[in-house]
Structure 1
Amino acid sequence: MQQSARCAGARLWHTLHCSRGQLAAATTACCHHNSHTATLRWSSSWASTQYSDLKRKVPDHILLMEVGNFYELYLEDAILVNSKLPLALSKKGMAGFPIHRKDAWIPQLQALFSAVAVADQCDPGVSATLKRQIARIYTPGTLLPEIDVEDDSPRHLTAIVADNLFAPAKFGLCVFNNITGQLHFDEMAPADLLTTLPGLDTVELLLINPDLRDDVCRILSKRGIAQSPSVPLTNSLHRLRCFNDTFVMGVPENWLARNTGDLPLPLSDLQRAAGNVVTNYLRRCYPKGLPTLLLPHQSGTNSQSTDANVSAASPQPSSPSSSFDVHVEDDVSALPPIDKEQLVIDADTRESLNLTVPRGKGSLLHVVDNTVSAFGRRELRSRLANPITDRHEIERRLDLVEYFYDNHEHGAALQRLLSACADPLRCLSSLSARATLSNTTVNLAKLAEFCTRVEMIVSSPNLAPDVSSVGGEQLAAALEDLHHFTKAVPRELFESANSSSAESDDDDDAETSVFPAPGFDATVDEQREIVSAILREAQKHAADISLDARLTEPMEGVLAMQIKPKLAAELKKSVRGFSLLKRGLYDTPRLQSLSLKLGHARRELTDAQMECARRVCGVLIANSHLFEKASRVLAHLDVCAGLARTATLREYVRPTITDGVDFNVVQGRHAILDALTAGDALHHFRPNDCVMDEHKSVIITGPNMGGKSTFLRQNALLVVLAQMGSFVPAEECTIGIVDKLFSRVGAQDNQVEGKSTFLVEMEETSNIVNNATARSFVVMDEVGRGTNSGEGLALAVAISHELAKSGCRSLSVTHHLQLPALCQDLDNVGVYKFVAEKDDDGRILFHHSIKPGIADDAHAIEVAAFAGHPPAVTDMAAIVLRSLQQQNFGHVDAAPIKAAMSNARR
């Protein structure tokens, strides 16, 4: 008993006097009845040795080692991190931060160094030395869900496996969404990777066999792939890992083989191989167990069209009445079939149209986003990145948007309830990734609140749908699906959660956790009673010594009495074993004995709570498909209600979707610029028509700053909005389904691969010419620039002829005024111009309106003057221009020009 009491006193003494490193070692030593004086000094050489041993297992990772309540870095890692982040470096070459701050520091470390490994303390067993082992590896594709970050953008981990290492003809893909745990499988030709991967928001890519790296990277980015892991490979891709063939089947327990037997469509060998790469890689990153994984049969639909089976209502396309005379293609059967479920958008087009990047006001996502839930935002982003080509599905989405547009009170009531909804899939992923009492309690409370919100939505009188419309029937079917969810979900499990604990997310708060609720688990209730009995006995002991003694617990598992010094002096004479600990804290042999019992009882309670948490989480994860379907239904409703609100606020209209090649827009507007200039009287956006009845290829001329490039992008954005199922910024809009969208607007050189701006432009243009079909929509800006005017014009004419021959709908802007004259006799080519004129003072006035015809001037010199060039430059430029015009831009005689310039200098 005296030996145990000395151990308890030693633990308290070290708590009050030792550093965090000394505390960890001293506490362990005392628990094994060793002399505490032998563990006061924690050898830095020992720490470095253990750190070095762990570092050899993860040489290309930043390593964090748990030491007491801190994560520490040593050696080169500490110096490297100190050079990039404000983490102090000690004289012994150490740096670190408190464990409870990991949500703030780990994302920063991962963003800077790509991969972060965490080594946690584990049970030392009979040894007095704490052991540590790798417990988690954070990479771009596996950072979430247990790390709480504000950015809820998709973070996809993608694996690619080729059928042939030397001349691959097919690739198998597996995509893991580490926010929701969803897996998506695909198989495609090499050329399709260029358009598929940019739409997946892949942040980490896994390849089998390093020999494929160059080929895949060449497909991924025409601008080349930097070999440094710190340089992004594409706009979103930040990490590429290569493995050998054994990694495909390198794990004895093949999770994928055990869980994909009942898929509606069996996986191909390539898809299964890619899935094995992902699951095996996840095992490396999650050594304690795989996170929650949702397979396609659990989600019920393709992950890129997540609302395809939300409603049982049959789609009945409807079009709003319109007096606009719509041209319908006479022979739709002559058009090529649409062989893709999604609108094909290559990487260049995504970049030029700003669909989802940059974050903030400059993207289309920001303009149309009026969702209120995390799952709604994910769905909206997915729809924007991957518009569809199924006209019936587009009409079904538009039907619900129109219903909320006409019944805005229903959409408002729905979104009020959704605004406080937790993200159930993220909660489930967090439960499987971090098995702590506080995390379990918090996420169970969130899931319980989610179920409550669903019940409120189902029973809300403000959401009683009008089933007389197609959209109303669809809403009724969605509510019925949600009603089935409330009946099927195991609600009794949520009785184990106490919502009052949902405010805390501190792992160190497990001791005060009320999980599970009293009466839910008999073993936990029994252990709680034991802990309470020990505390009552200690309280009685303190009261027996003195009514003025206050029982306290200066550290977990150590009981002491807080007594005033004068009273303590008297008690020291009368109470056997009464001793001073520190600053008014006293104990007795009896309290020391009770401290040991309390520590043991609390460990037993924690074990019982953790066992209960594992059982509850296991049942919830087994029913994750219920939450996935409910989340999918609510995401569909949230997106459609949000798009209806956008349409109301920004005066959008429902587009008419056809199976032909129509493109007729009345008073269309650029969605992004129109939103940015809303309410600005000085910068009002001028709408324009785009009618492509007679001519499917349109060549546009006009002055610089006249609005040509804006016009190109605005019509491309109309295609994206219409085919994602949104209303559009126009007075009237009819669009035939587009299979491929190409936007060649703006170009830059590629110094990595030694490519000039002109070569990059020609590569982009060749992609369009070789892949555009009669169903495609193409916008091209200033084709043929970057070389001499004669050859540039020749190329522009040839490319324009080829596009007209293909029958695709195309809008081309040029400063070659001869181009429209050389092409306007073609049956399928129309010629239009943007209008500008000079005022009485000679200043250029831009009308930003389009009309038939060819512009007679680019007004480049006037724009240069507007940009701030001095009169000496613009006046001389005007003189040179007049001389060139007099010589008809032919073989230039420099003498008259030099004479005119000389006179101008005088």
Structure 2
Amino acid sequence: MAQGTARQGKTVRSRAGRGRSGASDLVPSRRQYLDLKAQHPHAILLYRMGDFYEAFDDDARVVARDARITLTSRSFGRNGRVPMAGIPYHALNHYLARLLAHGHTIAIAEQVSEPGRGLVERAITRVLSPGTVGEAALLPEGENRYLASICPFGDRIGLAWADVSTGEFAVTELSGPRARDQLAEELARLNPAECLVPDDGRADDVEVAHRTRMEHWRFEPERARAELTRHLGVRSLVPFGCEDLPAATAAAGAILAYLERTNPALLPLLTGLRTESIDGWVGLDAATRRNLELTRSLRTGGTRGSLLGMLDETRTAMGARTLRRLVGQPLRDLSELQRRQAVVAGLVARPTLRAAITSSLGGVGDLERLVGRVTQGLGTARDFVTLGGALRAISPILASLRVSGDPALAAFADEIDPCTDVLTLVEAAVEDDPEDGARIRAGFSPELDAAREGAMSTRRWLAGLERRERERTGIKSLKVGYNKVFGYYIEVTRPNLARVPGDYVRKQTVATGERYVTAALKEAEARILAADEEIAALERAALARLTRDVTAATGRLLTAANRLALLDALLSLAVVADRGGWTRPVLEDSATLEIIGGRHPVVEASLEGEAFIANDCRLGGEAPRVLVVTGPNMGGKSTYLRQVALIVLLAQIGSFVPAERARIGLVDRIFTRVGAQDDLAGGSSTFMVEMLETATILRQATERSLVILDEVGRGTGTQDGLAIAQAVLEDLHDRVRARTLFATHYLELTALAERLADVANVHLAALETDERVIFLYAVRPGPADRAYGIQVARLAGLPPWVADRAASVLRGLTEMRSAPPPAPAERELSAPRVAEDGAPYQLTLDGFTPAPSEAERLARALDSLDLTALTPREALDWLFEQQARLRGGNPRH
């Protein structure tokens, strides 16, 4: 476990008068606890007492609630009883994970002296917060745990993030009118476990899960720059790309200051600093990540059923983390995407090579976090043996890549440092040990070798002592033994006590005889005990020296681990592509999007061999930029929309795609507005959430964006919703000009294709037979003839009398709409006029037929009645219904 700072690791004994005013009458243990608590007043203090870590006072109440353990109490003499909650020492990590998930910071006070007379000495040995956890046992294997830092600085916003278990340390700086929106997108991508913000309120409006306030002067750019250059051992930040980014520098400096205060043992792992540009990534807001189920399924709540869950065939935990980052951060860099594609293509074409690399990657394991553990000084001899095995597995991987004959694979191998010098050092230092699992190898420490030899010599003398004493005394039953309480002894049975030599000194009486020691035996025992202590100290020193030598290569080791993790992720993409028959898309810097025979990757994988109906999509270039998608519910509209977005996203992480062929002009953003969700806690209804997300798209989308809209305007009245949907569609066509898929049940909108040049209609085909609908899931040109809502309702189990009544109502409405409207006889949907100065435009609704009067409605309904088919009861019911409508009431049931 990581050690705290000198202040945190200070041993605390009982000191009168400390802890709280008027506390001189406190019992020593209570004073000691309060002294330790005062060192970290805002953290939960877990205070080791025997086999438990105890929390007291308000901390106990919090621990009992969030760790879900029993709240008890304890008496501290005349000071009365205080609340107490105890965690068994062997289950500490289990309960720490619960507390960290709730955002708590935890200080752990260990016993640093042996129990005996007087108060046991204790010291705070480590402080954990949600973003500073380096122990693998407390971390999810396939996810990064980020500590983020936000620093608004003038018109700029600095964002820094670090994973203290892998050494990742990066910054970016945002500016301009979209800076806040971009910050929200980055936080959605990183999902930081903890976020540092200045205590002057500059970042209070930023929504984060766990906010930690720090002194605002910690975010001062010049101070932060000095901290960064000192930590990185440089004079300038130019090599790291952030010399002229004061906000980003300030955010990164705050992270260093926070780690220095909470757990400085984590700092050596941050050997570099990466500066990233927001313009290099495809923008994905939180709604899009949720709607496309990139890393989390809405149905299962986990990765199963998500895009990541379908793609993840990685062999290592670090590969799984890298694949998650690829999915969450698509690129806009065409050359880098083509390099990734080339590696995936080389692996797809060589199944034997894939199998060999997969096997070797199993030996690499989680090299990233293993290096992190070693760098923090937590590495044991067993960890170094594991490190040696991981480094040995690299060479076969590189050899396989180089002999493949593929230039892209050979070039990738050249980017991986096998760190053979580190492997040589580790192999010379540690070895497997059948008894202890691992040990320092002979020859690495001459002093340790000498101590071991001395101990072995004494043990050999002890091993022969029993035989020699039997020969000297003639007592054949004499035994030499060892007891943890009494040490080494010579045992003689009662019948042979008369033959005991005079130099034997009686030590203990047992049921079968007496136990003795001799001067030589006592001297040997002393040598053994001293040698064991010396050996333990020398082993610790040897391990510390090995740790220092390996830590000096931390940067190289982490770089190698990063490239191997990327190889694992790309190998996973190749496995999935080969299994699914995916193809390599053509990527280009254009506005074209052409997908032939596209399929939804997750839905297809869930069909377990059942055929998926593939569909085409053409947007931009010579094709229309906007497709209005109509068709029945459950007919496949949402699947079609999402599959297009996922195919584009897969292409822009460097993957093959589920299609016969694809040509994709790179997009800068992917937007989705799908489904009905509310935010009641935030005071937003379903329709308000829909409009907020739609407004975000219209304000932020560009010509290079891909926009997916599903059922805009369905959350309000029909006429309002139709008006909004038309206005949104026209704005996307006239002003934004993004490549857009616009799914709707408002069939009236299909008329826009007749007057808007870049709008076309497609529909999901369906057949109706005996009032039932058969979904074909095939995209066809042109608009749908109807929505098939009643047929879908029947499939859902709507009672037949309700479905029949709905069909009757629909026939009446259809007939009313088909009647000639009042003058003027012809109307057309008018386009909105946009003021040249950018002022809001006024939407006209000239295309909508006025609602008929009650008299007209009644006349048409009466004219449509088939009197020969009506029963007397049905006719009476109809009259009651019409009468109730005229009176403004409800029809009688």
TM-score relative to the length of structure 2: 0.80
Letter in 2 for 1:883: G
Shift of 1:780: 0.4
Equivalent residue for 1:286, pick from 248, 251, 263: 263
The secondary structure found in structure 1 opposite 2:315 is: coil
Q: What amino acid does structure 1 have at the position aligned with 2:125?
A: A
Which region of structure 1 is more displaced relative to structure 2, 148-157 or 592-601?
Answer: 592-601
- Secondary structure of the 1:419 match is helix
User: 268, 283, 289: which is aligned to 1:350?
Assistant: 289
1:452: Cα distance to partner?
0.9
1:340 aligned residue: 279
1: CA distance between counterparts of 2:637 and 2:793?
A: 18
Residue among 449, 454, 461 paired with 1:525: 449
Shift of residue 464, structure 1, vs aligned partner: 1.0
Structure 2 counterpart of 1:326: none
Structure 2 residue identity aligned to 1:797: Q
Query: Structure 2 vs 1, CA of residues 570 and 624 (structure 1 numbering), >3 Å: closer, same or farther?
Result: farther
Name the SS for the 2:251 alignment partner.
helix
Aligned with 2:384 (options 444, 448, 454): 444
Q: Structure 1 pair 426/817, CA: closer, same or farther in 2 (3 Å)? A: same
The DSSP-based 3-state class of the residue aligned with 1:804 is helix
* Farther off after superposition, 730-739 or 132-141: 132-141
| Superimposed CA distance per residue, residues 769-819 of structure 1 (whole angstroms, 9 cap, x where no aligned partner) | 111111111000111121111121111111111111222100001111111
Instruction: Give the aligned partner of residue 473 of structure 1.
Output: 407
Partner of 1:890: 851
The answer to whether residue 568 in structure 2 is matched with residue 638 in structure 1 is: yes
Give the Å deviation of 1:567: 8.2
1:181 counterpart (146, 155, 167): 167
Q: Separation in 1 of the partners of 2:498 and 2:164?
A: 63
* 2:168 and 2:270 in contact (8 A); partners too: yes
Q: Which residue of 2 aligns with 1:239?
A: 210
AA in 1 matched with 2:561: S
Q: Indicate which of 133, 143, 149 corresponds to 1:143.
A: 133
Contact 2:100 2:129 in 1 (8 A): yes
User: 1:637-676, CA deviations, whole angstroms, 9 ceiling, x for partnerless residues?
Assistant: 3222221211111111111111111111111111111111
SS of match in other structure, 1:396: helix
The secondary structure found in structure 2 opposite 1:348 is helix
Measure the CA separation in 2 of the matches of 1:252 and 1:91: 49
Residue in 2 that maps onto 1:685:
612
Residue identity in the other structure for 1:342: W
* Partner-residue secondary structure (3-state), 1:215: coil
Distance 1:178 1:736 in 2: 37
- The residue aligned with 1:812 is 742
Per the alignment, residue 831 of structure 1 pairs with 761
Greater relative CO (CA pairs within 8 A, separation 6+): 1
Q: Tell me the residue number matched to 1:499.
A: 432
Contact 2:381/2:439 (CA < 8 Å) preserved in 1? yes
**Aligned AA for 2:33?**
Y
Cα deviation, residue 526, structure 1: 3.0
Is 1:52 the counterpart of 2:34 in the alignment? yes
Contact 2:647–2:658 at 8 Å: present in 1 too? yes
**How far does residue 65 in structure 1 lie from its aligned partner after superposition?**
2.4
Query: 2-side partners of 1:477 and 1:876: how far apart?
Result: 69
Structure 1 counterpart of 2:783, from 830, 834, 854? 854
Flag the 1:604–1:44 CA change in 2: closer, same or farther, 3 A: farther
Out of 890-899 and 349-358, give the one that drifted further: 890-899
The residue that corresponds to 1:208 in the other structure is 198
Distance in 2 (alpha carbons) for counterparts of 1:585 and 1:642? 70
Cα distance change of structure 1 residues 45 and 126 upon mapping to structure 2, 3 Å threshold: closer
Distance 1:566-1:662 versus aligned 2 partners, 3 A rule: farther
**Alpha-carbon distance in structure 1 between the residues aligned to 2:512 and 2:766:** 85
Q: After superposition, where does 1:393-432 map in structure 2 within 5 Å?
A: 393-432=336-375
Q: 1:335 aligns to what? A: none
Work out the percentage of aligned pairs sharing the same amino acid: 29
Give runs of aligned pairs for residues 761-776 of structure 1, distance below 5 A: 761-776=690-705
Alignment of 1:684-703 (within 5 A): 684-692=611-619, 693-703=622-632
The equivalent residue for 2:838 is: none
Cα distance in 2 between the residues matched to 1:795 and 1:280: 50
Is 1:609 the counterpart of 2:539? The answer is yes
1:371-423 deviation line (CA, Å, top 9, x unaligned):
21223222211111111111121111111111111222222211111122122
After superposition, residues 180-329 of structure 1 pair within 5 angstroms as: 180-189=166-175, 190-191=179-180, 192-217=182-207, 233=208, 238-248=209-219, 254=227, 256-259=229-232, 261=234, 263=237, 264=239, 265-267=241-243, 268-286=245-263, 290-296=267-273
Segments of structure 2 that go 5 or more residues without pairing to the other structure are: 1-11, 14-24, 75-82, 818-849, 862-876, 883-890
Residues in 2 aligned to 1:584 and 1:59: alpha-carbon distance in whole angstroms? 60
For residues 94-173 of structure 1, the aligned pairs below 5 Å read: 96=86, 99-112=89-102, 114-122=104-112, 129-147=119-137, 149=139, 151-164=141-154, 169-173=155-159
User: Cα deviation per residue 1:315-369 (whole Å; 9 max; x = unaligned)?
Assistant: xxxxxxxxxxxxxxxxxxxxxxxx8111111111111111112433211111112
Q: Secondary structure at the match of 2:131?
A: coil
Deviation at 1:95, TM superposition (A): 5.2
Query: Aligned partners of 2:257, 2:123: CA distance in 1, in Å?
Result: 19
1:545-624 correspondence runs (5 A): 548-549=478-479, 551-552=481-482, 554=484, 559-560=487-488, 575-579=504-508, 598-624=528-554
Q: Residue 377 of structure 2 contacts residue 547 of structure 2 at CA under 8 Å; is this kept in 1?
A: no
Q: CA deviation at 1:721?
A: 0.2
53, 59, 63: which one aligns with 1:71: 53
The aligned amino acid for 2:487 is L
**Residues 729 and 566 from structure 1, CA distance in 2 versus in 1: closer, same or farther, beyond 3 angstroms?**
farther
Tell me how far 1:495 sits from its aligned partner: 1.6
Are 2:391 and 2:420, in contact at CA under 8 Å, matched by a contact in 1? no
Equivalent residue number for residue 312 of structure 1: none
CA distance in 1, matches of 2:330, 2:136: 31
Whether 2:697 is the aligned partner of 1:715: answer no
CA-based RMSD of the aligned residues comes to: 3.7
Paired with 1:823 and 1:608, the residues of 2 have a C-alpha distance of: 82
SS at match of 2:715: coil
Q: Helix, strand or coil: the match of 1:730?
A: coil
Q: Is the 8 A contact 1:797 1:823 kept in 2?
A: no
Deviation track 1:835-882 (CA, whole Å, cap 9, x = no partner) reads 22222x321111111112222221222222222222232223223333
1:314 aligned partner: none
Are the equivalent residues in 2 in contact too, given 1:706–1:848 (CA < 8 A)? yes
The worse-fitting range, judged by mean Cα deviation, of 514-523 and 259-268 is 259-268
Q: Which has the larger radius of gyration?
A: 2
Decide whether aligned partners of structure 1 residues 766 and 813 sit closer, same or farther in structure 2, where only a CA change above 3 A counts.
same
Task: Report what 1:654 is aligned to.
Answer: 584
Offset at residue 479 of structure 1 (A): 2.7
Deviation at 1:730, TM superposition (A): 0.7
**Structure 1 residue 493, shift from structure 2 partner:** 3.5
Q: Deviations over 1:667-715 (max 9, x none)?
A: 1111111111132x4xx42211112242011111111111111111110
Kindly provide the amino acid, as one letter, of the partner of residue 244 in structure 1.
Answer: E
SS at match of 2:741: strand
Q: Distance in 1 between matches of 2:396 and 2:462?
A: 47
**Displacement after TM superposition at 1:67 (Å):** 3.7
Question: After superposition, where does 1:837-876 map in structure 2 within 5 Å?
Answer: 837-839=767-769, 841-876=770-805
